[in-house]
Amino acid sequence: MTVPPDPTVHPLDHLALRGKREAPALVLKDEVLSHEGLNRRVGQLAAWLAAQPGAEPDARVATWLGKGLLACLMPLAAVRAGLVHVPINPVLRRAQAAHILADSGAALLLANAGRLDTLEPGDAAGAVVHDEAAVLAALDALAPLPPSAAAPESLAAILYTSGSTGNPKGVMLSQANLWLGAVSVVHYLGLAADDRVLAVLPLAFDYGQNQLLSTWAAGACAVPLDYLLPRDVVRAVSRHGITTLAAVPPLWLQLVQARWPDSAGQTLRRLTNSGGALTPDLVRGLRGQFPQARLFAMYGLTEAFRSTFLDPALIDAYPTSIGTAIPFAEVMVVNDAGEAAAPGEEGELVHAGPLVAQGYWQDAARTAERFRPAPAFSTLGGMAVWSGDRVRRDGAGLLHFVGRRDAMIKTSGHRVSPQEVEEAALATGLVAEAVALGLPDAALGQAIHLVCRAMPGTAGDEAALRAAMAQDLPAFMLPRAVHWRAAMPLSPNGKHDRARLYRALTQKA
C-alpha cells in the first residue's frame, strides 16, 4: 500500500480551502468561482440548509439536479450543515427517484422545476421539496457558515448503486472515505494547481463526484459539463484548455471516432478510465489520438471508492490490466480456499483499508454479505469489501479482471440491475415473463437483451413494449433487443435458466 503525503483527515468541507484564494476553482456556464468564492458559496448553501425545517443533525438531503451550482456545492455544503447528501442521478425517472427518497428517508429534496413536475403524489416520501431556482435566489442574502469540525468517521453521503437483484442500495460513505479518496487520486494522478478537469461523468457516481473533490484537493479547477454529443466534449476540451478527462469506455470510443481539430486535445495531460475495461484496440486509439496524455486504467466499486490503477507507462504492454492498489488501499486476491491466491490463480478481489465504506443504508443483511472481516493474511485487517469480482495476479504483480460473479449488467458506464429491467417489462402488462441479460457489445461494454414470453392471447410487440418501458426507465436501461419465446427455460430449482438463455443468445450472435 502506497501512502501519499498529507494523509491527514479533515472534515470534508475543508476541501473548499485547499487552493489559492484567487485561483479558479469552478467554471460554470454563467459563473466562475475562485477557491475563495467556492468556500463562500459552500458556506451560504450550508447556512440555507441548516435553516430549513427538518434539517436535524444527520438528516438526509437529496439532490436531483444537472451539473449546476447547487449540485457541485452540495457534497461539501451538506456536511458543513451537519447533513448527509443523497445525490440522485438526473437521468433517472420518477420511479427510481421515488425509491431513493423513500429508502433514504430524505428530509429535503432539491430539484429543478421540470423534474419536480414529474413527481406524483407520495413520490417525495415526506421530503420537503425545493425548486433549484428559488434556492439559488436565496443564497446571496445569507452569511456563510464556517467550515465544520465534524468527526472523520461521520456519515457524509449515501450513494445509490444498483445491486444484482432488487432496487438500488445506498452505500454509506464517511467524510474520511471521501477525503482520503480525493487525496489518493491527487497523488497517483499527479494533479496540480494548474490543472483543469472536465467533469463529464454524473456527480451521483463515486467516480463522477471525485472529479470535483480530487480537483479541489489539488487546488485546481473543475469544469462540469452536461453533454449531449461527443462533439460537445471536444469543444469543451478546446475552449477551457482541459488537462484531465475522465470517462467510461463507451464515451472513449465515441471520442476516438470524433473529429478533433488540430489544436483540440493538445492540452490534455492525462486520461482516466473506469466503469468498464479498456480493449487493446481502444487503448491504441486513445494513445494515437492523444499521444502526449498519460492513460490511466482503473478499477473501482462504490463500496470502496476505487481499488486499483495501472501505471500509464505499462498501458501499451498490458492494455487490459487493472494494475495495482491505489494509495490507502490494500487489495488482495483470495482463492476459493480463503487463502492468498498464487500468481496466475483466479480468486475474489478483496479490498481493505480506510477507503472501505460503512455498509449499506438500513440493510444489515446485504451489508453482512459484502462487508466482512479481512482475511487472516491481510496487512491492514479490519472490515473489508468482498467484491464478488474474479481477478488474477500475474507474475509481474499486475491484476487482471476475469469476470463478475453476479448478474449485474454494465452498460455505457452504468451498473444496471436485471431485476429492475424485468420488473419494468412486467409492469407494462404486455409480457408474462421476462429475463434481462447483458451481452458483450463493442460500443457499450454490455448491451441489454430482454427475453420475454408474451401475455397469453397476444403477439409480441417490441415497439409497444419499449415505448411502455420508456415511461419508467431512463434510456440506458432500455433493452437493445427483445427476444420472444413461447416458453421460458427453467433450471432444476424452478428458476429461469439464465445461463441457458445467455448461451443461446451468444451462440445466435
> What is the mean predicted confidence (pLDDT) over 26-33?
95
Whether 395 is covered by a domain: the verdict is no
With bands split at pLDDT 50, 70 and 90, how would you rate the model's confidence at 398?
Answer: very high
Quick one: how far is CA 174 from the chain centroid? Answer: 16
Q: How would you classify residue 120: left for phi > 0, otherwise alpha for psi between -120 and 50, otherwise beta? A: beta
pLDDT of residue 164: 44
Burial state string for 485-494 with b = 16 or more CB within 10 A and e = fewer than 16: eeebeeeeee
* CB within 8 Å of 223: residues ≥ 6 apart: 26, 27, 196, 197, 198, 199, 236, 240, 242
Window from 364-373, 412-421, 429-438 with minimum mean pLDDT: 412-421
Predicted confidence band of residue 162 (pLDDT cuts 50, 70, 90): low
Among residues 141, 159, 187, which one ends one of the domains? Answer: 187
Whether pLDDT at 503 is above 50: yes
The residue behind cell 484548455 is 241
pLDDT of residue 493: 57
Closest CA to 328 of 15, 2, 5, 11: 2
Instruction: Please report whether residue 246 resides in a domain.
Output: no
| Number of domains into which the chain is organized | 2
Task: Give the β-pairing of 294-299 and 270-273.
Answer: parallel
- What integer pLDDT is reported at residue 238 of this predicted model? 96
Provide the pLDDT for residue 458: 87
CATH code for position 158: 3.40.50.980
Q: What share of the chain is helix, strand, coil (3-state, %, to 5)?
A: 30, 25, 40
Evaluate whether residue 240 is within a structural domain: no
Exposure string (b/e) for 372-395, b if CB count within 10 Å is 16 or more?
Answer: eebbeebebeebbbbbbbbbbbee
**73 is a domain residue:** yes
Which tops the pLDDT comparison, 43 or 320?
43
**Looking at 148, 169, 187, which one is the last position of a domain?**
187
If you average pLDDT over every residue of the chain, what do you get? 93
In a domain, 85, yes or no: yes
Residue 68: per-residue pLDDT: 97
Residue 295 in any domain: the answer is: no
Weakest mean pLDDT among 30-34, 54-58, 207-211, 489-493: 489-493
Q: What is the C-alpha to C-alpha distance for residues 401 and 403, in angstroms, rounded to an integer?
A: 6
The one-letter amino acid at 380? L
Contacts of 124 (CB under 8 A, 6+ apart): 98, 101, 109
Report the CATH number that the domain containing residue 413 is assigned in CATH.
3.30.300.30
DSSP 20: -
Rounded distance between C-alpha atoms, residue 315 and residue 283, angstroms: 8
Mean pLDDT, range 458-483, rounded to an integer: 94
Q: Which of 232, 233, 294, 238 is nearest to 266 (CA)?
A: 238
Average of per-residue pLDDT across 275-302: 92
Average of per-residue pLDDT across 407-415: 84
The answer to whether position 136 is within a domain reads yes
Q: Assess if residue 3 is contained within a domain.
A: no
Q: Which is more confidently placed, 459 or 167?
A: 459
Structural domain of residue 81, as residue ranges?
Answer: 9-187
pLDDT in tens, 137-161: 999 999 999 999 999 999 999 999 8
Mean pLDDT (whole number) for 214-233: 96
Rounded average pLDDT over 43-48: 98
The pLDDT tens digits for 48-107 are 999 999 999 999 999 999 999 999 999 999 999 999 999 999 988 999 999 999 999 999
